[in-house]
Chain A
């Protein structure tokens, strides 16, 4: 695939841009990426994160930007504008509170937004099973939304099976260890 900007070099930098609530894939060569200030590399430094964020709101009107800046984490009270200044989130809940803003940022930093690594094993199988159930519930909802009812039925059966296993494994629900 050739670079979408110069049309000459092979496109080696790929990212997703969100503009006017529309998502588009962009494929460019390294040189154009550099010239346009589009970088996919992880930026450790907070100001570089701030630069990334600044680059991403280009094209947003001032009012839109202000509105996004006022999004607040219900748990720790951090405003999105505060994150933009420091490049650091306030607590675990911030990831959910700012999910719509963070997703494109994560994609830009990592080239992906989905975790494929290890999962906590705390409390042994019980927790990983409940996480699995949680994930299946999400999938069930998505399947229903997309009207994929066959898939939804299969997911529902899987949830039932896992819930039965979980009940058999731990008759009384245990408190999370602190």
Chain B
């Protein structure tokens, strides 16, 4: 990928929700290896405290206890030093939704109904959901294809938490989780990959099928089965028993590399056979985003996919990757409402969304010009 696509990292740790949302998520930074094909890497570990019933069977007082002991352990760990603890019951619905849109918090955690929380490390690469489906859901996120790094980060934080907490574990089955699909390693490693050429050349179903035959899980990231938006797919390990964490991760890495090779070959073919049509599609998408006056979030996701492809193909004059990455989150409803007012109708949101998208692209153009 071309240098300068990645956004420089912010250094200071956020101390409040307001500061946190001012900062773009690290996983959107457009940096890291293979960032032109892989948006982000995520590694999640599920853990439970041995003596407390799993979240859905525990009483609120018990969950309160879990929240404080886990938060306490995290605060004393090096991994979460100076981290930010947010209690879901203390956050208004809009703020919780913002965390969901940033992929820091799951829908389940975001309901705000029970004593749940999230601990976020200063650089936002590590986070810890407390009292989600499992008592602990430790999550490491990174931009680009960085499975080994994300695993090391999660593994290290898990070791530290393990020193202070008594995790539910059995010799035979491993880490015990609320749902038996996670029992064993409790690991879910996933890669968010961009496969526009395979979709365009109608080879995607075949590729996805072969990925699933390898025992991995793959799904469209935005939207359901037939109408995947933005050509973004999440590939993850399926099973958590019978394989070590490293084996699971290596297998995910190996299979995903093959998928990326196929995508690259498809891109080459596309550029060889229909260069003008591809460039036309990319630039029309850019023009739509740059000059729209009302736009639905679905269109932002789809048009950004075309622009992203153009950036990856090295077409000159487009914006850096992190700009299109960030739009995927900033154009979501809760982020828009925080910026422009909480009681917007969907039609008004579309107008403000168009304004935001135009402004971001214009700013990126200005930056590019001044950098020349």
Contact = CB atoms under 8 A, between A and B. Distances in A.
Q: Are A and B physically bound partners?
A: yes
Chain B: number of interface residues, binned into ranges: 35 or more
Contacts of B263: none
B53 A76 contact: yes
A143 B29 CA distance: 56
Nearest to A76: B53
A89 B238 CA distance: 19
Contacts, number: 137
Interface in A83-139: 86-92, 95-96, 102, 105-106, 109-123, 131, 134-135, 138
A110 B213 contact: no
B18 interface: no
Interface in A133-152: 134-135, 138
Given A118-B155, A122-B167, A113 B242 contact: yes
B67 to A, nearest CB: 15
Contacts of A122: 162-163, 165-167
Contact of B241 (A30, A89, A115, A118): A115
A114 B244 CA distance: 10
A120 B161 CA distance: 10
Q: Which 3 A-B pairs have the closest CB atoms?
A: A112-B242, A115-B174, A92-B168
Interface of B: 48, 50, 52-54, 56-57, 69, 133, 155, 158-159, 162-176, 178-181, 183-185, 187, 212-213, 215, 217, 238-245, 247
Contacts of B164: 177
B163 A42 contact: no
A95 to B, nearest CB: 5
B242 A88 contact: no
Given A102-B180, A131-B171, A110 B240 contact: yes
Nearest to A40: B215
Contacts of A109: 180-181, 239, 241
Nearest to A116: B244
Nearest to B73: A177
A114 B241 contact: yes
Given A41-B217, A111-B239, A92 B166 contact: no
A36 interface: no
B64 to A, nearest CB: 15
A43 B241 CA distance: 14
